[in-house]
Amino acid sequence: MRFIKNTLDKVKIIAGNNKYLKTFKPVLNAMDEFFFGTDKVTTLPHIVDNMDIKRLMSLVIIALLPVTIASIYFWGLRVLLVIMVSYAFGGLIEVCFAVFRKKEIHEGFLVTGLIFPLILPPGVPLWVVAVGVMFGVMFGKEVFGGTGRNIFNPAIVGRVFLTIAFPKIMTMNWQMPFNKGLGGFIHFQNTVDAVTTATPLVLFKNQGIVTSYSNLMFGQSAGCIGETFRVGIIAGGLFLIVMRIVDWRLPLAYLATVFVFPYLSNHLIHTQFALGGFQLFSGGLLLGAFFMATDPVTSPFTKPGRWISGALLGILTLLIRNLSGYMEGVMFSILLINAFTPLIDTAVLKARYKKGRPR
């Protein structure tokens, strides 16, 4: 602890005297705050909650840990490399903007940097990761003015960009996961006996094959890095809800719609719409519902708004998934509904605060 403090102090003095290094002050300040907390005291109220953004973000990361560890097991140690690339290049953009704006570095990026690799295919080339995360952070967040002002979820923006810009890379790189012994913990990548396959959704759409629930739940199916170990995602999501960091309304509305809606559609076009249970546990739905649609900045803050947006997300996801050429229904629907968030909130507020009514 003392060592870190001394080093930081020394670096600060050096940076303070150097004309060019001075611009990197936000980085040093962020490190200082990260390690040593704050010395500010309250005014009124005299006590404040112990929760802060750092802990809030670290709890989201803790909730993602089971999924991350499982993904290393399924896809090999290369996943770690992907995550590191994502943090490094996303962080670079974040720091550039902080230096440019002479503002502090905010913690929101810690979550984006981890979620982004989790929604990429396992065989994604590293340069694609770097391009995607840079695009996502820059055009998903920083151009709007940084944390708290963005309209779109930065990870989703990056992912959508990649899907449209490099469709081949993003849709052909599916592998079968490791499932024996120590699996990916001792392998770099599943290359030797790599079986290129299709995701459960594609299998259903093209050949009508329904993957079994146990395979879906425990990660024995093809898919994005972090979306296949669904038990872990559910555990992480419930953890966040129990911790009161995520509101339960939106994920519930989203998942319930996805579960109920296909039963109606299945009667009409059963070749296009799989049953609700399968829809629920395939693709990135759970990861999207628990970790991305609930991003507080880009989801509605009013309670009715959360119900509405959850239901819209569900319907949109199913329509895109089952009737369009794209498989990435979750991703596109979250992006679209993000754009509608301010509208939903405004409409709810308008209805709630009608003029001439005592409250």
Partner 1 sequence: MLKPARTFRGGYRFKNFNGQARPVIVENHMPVLVTIPLKQGFGAELKSLVKKGDAVFAGQIIARDDNVVSSPIHSSVNGVVEEVRRMNYFKRQTAMVIIRTNNASREILRIEGCSLDWARLSNEKIEELIYLSGVSSLDREGIPTRFKSSIIPPEEVKHLIVHGVGSEPYNISLDLLLKDKNLLNFLEGVKILKRIMPNSKVHLSLNAKKRSIIEQVAKLTSQLEWLDTYPLEPKYPQGYDEILVPTILNQNFPYGYSAANIGVVILNIQAVLGVYEAVCNGKPFIERVIAICGPSIKDNIHVKVRVGTPLKDILAERIKIEMPVRVVMNSLLTGFQLNDISLPVDRTFSHIVAIPEKKEREFLSFMRPGKTRDSYTRAFLAGILPWIKRAPDTNKHGEERPCISCGFCERACPVKIIPHLLAKHVQRNLIDETIMNYGIFNCIECGLCSYVCPSKISLMKIIKEGQDKLTMQGCDSTQCILPYFNLKGIEEYRGVTKL
For the window 337-356, what string marks contact with partner 1 as x by the rule CB under 8 A?
A: ------------x---x-x-
Contact range with partner 1 by CB under 8 A, out of 6-14, 89-97, 273-281, 297-305: 297-305
91, 108, 140, 236: residue in contact with partner 1 (rule CB under 8 A): 108
Nearer to partner 1, 48 or 165 (CB): 48
Contact range with partner 1 by CB under 8 A, out of 101-109, 152-160, 186-194, 276-284: 101-109
Cβ–Cβ < 8 Å for 94, 103: no
Question: What is the C-alpha separation between 17 and 21, in angstroms, rounded?
Answer: 8
Query: Is 267 among the residues that bind partner 1 (CB under 8 A)?
Result: no
**Distances from the Cα of 254 to the Cαs of 30, 152, 192, 263, in angstroms?**
36, 18, 39, 15
Output the smallest distance, CB 52 to partner 1, in A.
Answer: 3
Nearest to 206 by CA among 325, 331, 333, 330: 325
Nearer to partner 1, 180 or 244 (CB): 244
Query: Is 310 among the residues that bind partner 1 (CB under 8 A)?
Result: no
Concatenating the DSSP letter of every residue in 109-152 gives: HHHHHHHHHHTS-TT--HHHHHHHHHHHHHHHTGGGTSTTT-SS
Nearer to partner 1, 56 or 96 (CB): 56
Cβ–Cβ < 8 Å for 344, 300: yes
Cβ–Cβ < 8 Å for 156, 292: yes
Q: Taking the mean position of all CA atoms in its chain, how far away is CA 263? A: 28
Q: Which two tokens stand for residue 169?
A: 């890379």
Q: Which of residues 117-146 bind partner 1 (CB under 8 A)?
A: 146
Q: Is 175 helix (H, G, I), strand (E, B) or coil?
A: strand
Nearest to 330 by CA among 352, 315, 350: 315
Query: Is 102 among the residues that bind partner 1 (CB under 8 A)?
Result: no
245, 256, 275, 319: residue in contact with partner 1 (rule CB under 8 A): 245
Nearer to partner 1, 267 or 359 (CB): 359
For the window 36-75, what string marks contact with partner 1 as x by the rule CB under 8 A?
A: xxxxxxxxxxxxxxxxxxxxx-xx----------------
Contact range with partner 1 by CB under 8 A, out of 72-80, 122-130, 160-168, 237-245: 237-245
Nearest to 91 by CA among 104, 105, 72: 105
Output the smallest distance, CB 123 to partner 1, in A.
Answer: 34
Cβ–Cβ < 8 Å for 72, 79: yes
Count of residues binding partner 1 (CB under 8 A)? 49
Q: Which residues contribute to the site for partner 1 (CB under 8 A)?
A: 1, 33-56, 58-59, 104, 106-108, 146-149, 242-245, 247, 296-297, 301-302, 349, 353, 355, 358-359
